[in-house]
Amino acid sequence: MSEHGIESTDERTIGAPALKTASAILWDHWMAGERMDALPEAVRPASRTEGYAIQALLEERSAEPIFGWKLAATSPAGQEHIGVDGPLAGRILAERLVVPGGICPFHNNLMQVAELEFAFRMGRTLPPRSAAYSVEDVLDAVGSLHLAVEVPDSRYHVFERAGAPQLIADNACANYFAVGPATEVDWRGIDLARHEVIGFIDDGPPQCGIGSNVLGDPRVALQWLANELSQLGIPLEAGQTVSTGTCVVPMAIAPGSRVRGNFGPLGMIALNIAADGAENV
C-alpha cells in the first residue's frame, strides 16, 4: 500500500512517474482555469484504481489537510449525463472553501451550475476494514449535519465523455464549496430521503428537489463513500466533512448569480457567484 492509501494491484497499467505526471497536468489546468481534451495516452488512467491514485497526489499539492470528500453522479440522470455506471468520490480541498453568503470565484467555469447538498461531519474515524460498513455504522460515527453548496467544474472540454477513470483523476469535478454551520435541529429524527430542498437562482422560480435524489438517501450516499474509501485503504477521518451530492437538479449559474438553498426546518444557505472578472473569495 502506498503512502496515499492506494493499494498496489495488478490492474494498474501506469507507474508512479506517470501518475505524478497526470496529477501535475490536471493540477496545472485546474489552477489556470484551462481545459484539455483528455490526459495524454501514456499517463491516462485505465481503471478507477488508477484514477484514485492520481487524485490522491492532490494532497501533496494542497496547502492544508483535506477538508473532506464529495460525491458526484449520485443520481441515475447524473450518471447517464457523464457516462458512468455509479458514483465517484473526490477530495474537498480546504483552500477551495467559500464562506456561506460569501463570493465564489467564477473563473471561467465550464459546468456553470450550483448544487445543493447535505454534508456530514465525522465525529470519529472509520478505518479501512474487510467488512462493509452499514448505514447504522456510518451514522453512529457522524458528529453533525451541515448544509452545503457545491460549484463544480471539470478540467476536460467534454467531461461528459471523459469516462470514470479520468473523471476520478480530475477529483470528480470538485471545485468550490460552501459548508454551513452544524444544523441546530435533531436531524437524526428526520427522514432525509423524503426531505424537500428548494433552490433559487437570483429572483427566479423555485427549483425543487428531495433527498432521495442522492443515491436514494443521503445517508446511503455517506455509507457508499465510507465503503469506497475503505476498499481503497483510506480512512474516513474524524473532522472530515462529506458532501453527499445534489438534491436539486444542478442549477444554472452565471457571473453575478446569487444561489440560495432552502432546506426547510434544517435552515438555509446562500452563495454569491463573482461578477465577471471578479475572482476574490
Let me know: does 266 contact 187? Beta carbons within 8 Å: yes
Residue owning grid cell 452563495: 271
Residue 49 lies in a domain: no
Instruction: Report the pLDDT value the prediction gives residue 124, as an integer from 0 to 100.
Output: 98
Residue 81 covered by a domain:
yes
| 24 assigned to some structural domain | no
In a domain, 53, yes or no: no
For residue 188, the enclosing domain spans 65-273
Q: For residue 78, is it within any domain?
A: yes
Average pLDDT over the chain reads 94
Structural domains in the chain (count): 1
Q: How do residues 104-125 score in pLDDT, each as one tens digit?
A: 999 899 999 999 999 999 999 9
pLDDT at 2: 37
For 214-271, the DSSP string reads: TTTSHHHHHHHHHHHHHHHT--B-TT-EEEEEESS--EE--TT-EEEEE-GGG-EEEE
Considering the domain boundaries, does residue 218 fall inside one?
Answer: yes
- Looking at the chain, the whole-number percentage of residues with pLDDT higher than 90 is 92
Contact 78, 249 (CB under 8 A): no
- How far apart, in whole angstroms, are the C-alpha atoms of residue 101 and residue 273? 10
Q: What is the mean pLDDT of the segment spanning 214-223?
A: 98
What's the grid cell of residue 256? 453575478
Give a yes or no: residue 137 inside a domain.
yes
* Residue 255 belongs to domain with CATH number: 3.90.850.10
Q: Give the three cell numbers for residue 244.
A: 453527499
What's residue 14's pLDDT? 85
Q: Residue 218's pLDDT band (boundaries 50, 70, 90)? A: very high
140 contacts: CB under 8 Å, gap ≥ 6: none
Do the domain assignments include residue 60? no
